[in-house]
Amino acid sequence: MTKPTFDIRCVDLFCGAGGLTHGLQKQGINVVAGVDVEESCRHPFEFNNAAEFIKEDVTKINGKQLNEFFKGCDVKVLAGGAPCQPFSTYSQRYDVLSSPRWGLLYQFARLVKETQPDIVAMENVPSVAKHSVFDDFAASLEGQGYFVHRSVIDCTKYGLPQTRKRMILLASKLGEVDVVPASAGGTSTVRDTIFSLPRITHGESNSTDPLHVASKLSPINFERIRASRPGGTWRDWPDNLVAECHKKDTGRTYPGVYGRMSWDQPSPTLTTQYYGFGNGRFGHPEQDRAISLREGAILQGFPLSYSFVPEDTRIHFKALGKLIGNAVPVTLGEVVGKSINQHLETALRQQNHTEGGVYGARNNIVA
């Protein structure tokens, strides 16, 4: 039997800079549009992915609008990674229950009801599973006849050079669905990923890549990073360099800040402030600076050529750090894409076996 070609179309809710979309497209999933409320996402999403960017709050989008992108396709996929800050362990120290971001999964569920996609894909932090909104989301899908799978994956096992665990939820009307297993092989490291980039000093950018720029260090932080060793902590410093807050009992439990990465380990989980040496273990393993914006993007799985701002645009560390740090890693998008493809192939074989060749919940994918 000749392997069929499916017209798969996907809309990416909360698309951000396009990390999930880029990974899906690398696996042949045609992402035709992305939705996000931030205008800064338009350039990276459209320029790198040849898909339409819709600047809109998802609370104002309806299924009729999204279904315009699905007209005539064989398989409809609705995907997205709702902002994870309300569900993060760090955020839960504060009163975030009143934040409107908690309701974004309910909006995702509403759009599933209104569009009735064949496949739904969602990713978030693992702790999202502790909250009723996640259970409600899964129950809503099951109530509509979806087979729902949820699992937490260790991204390092899938080739991301960053210690990041994520919850993936996949749901399908076409049958049981699962996340593809990690392939055998070694873990990607910081050395594998950024070692070959040109050397730069703190406060300097590379002449051929403005995004390969490192934030400027204060005189004391320059002395601190020079006293730091890969994988070490501020406890390695001479006493005169240790911050007063770390000398207190409340500060002694945070040894990971002001640290250097290790060449032969994955990087720590990137945050929206990964460009700052004092914001975590974000010091370069060897050079006396924090990692650059570009290095962070590559550790997130973006290719070296990925454009985040138009040419000759001024680089704003805070804005770009947020954009890159908030992105769904491209590698994770590839995992989701592979899982969807494997699921469709399995469902096709099962349908051919039981119904003689016609496949699909809507009987519109023909072998």
Which positions are annotated as active-site residues?
84
For the beta carbon of residue 197, count every other beta carbon within 10 angstroms.
18
Is the Cβ–Cβ distance between 266 and 290 less than 8 Å? Answer: no
Mapped to the 3 state alphabet, what secondary structure does the chain carry?
A: CCCCCCCEEEEEECCCCCHHHHHHHHCCCEEEEEEECCHHHHHHHHHHHCCEEEECCHHHCCHHHHHHHHCCCCEEEEEECCCCHHHCCCHHHCCCCCCHHHHHHHHHHHHHHHHCCCEEEEEECHHHHHCHHHHHHHHHHHHCCCEEEEEEEEHHHHCCCECCEEEEEEEECCCCCCCCCCCCCCCCCHHHHHCCCCCCCCCCECCCCCCCECCCCCHHHHHHHHCCCECCCHHHCCHHHCCHHHHCCCCCCCCCCCCECCCCCCECCCCCCCCCHHHCCCECCCCCCECCHHHHHHHCCCCCCCCCCCCCCCCCHHHHHHHHHCCCCHHHHHHHHHHHHHHHHHHHHHHHHHHCCEECCCCCEEC
φ, ψ of residue 366 to 5 degrees: the values are -115, 130
How far apart CA 275 and CA 194 sit, in angstroms, is 14
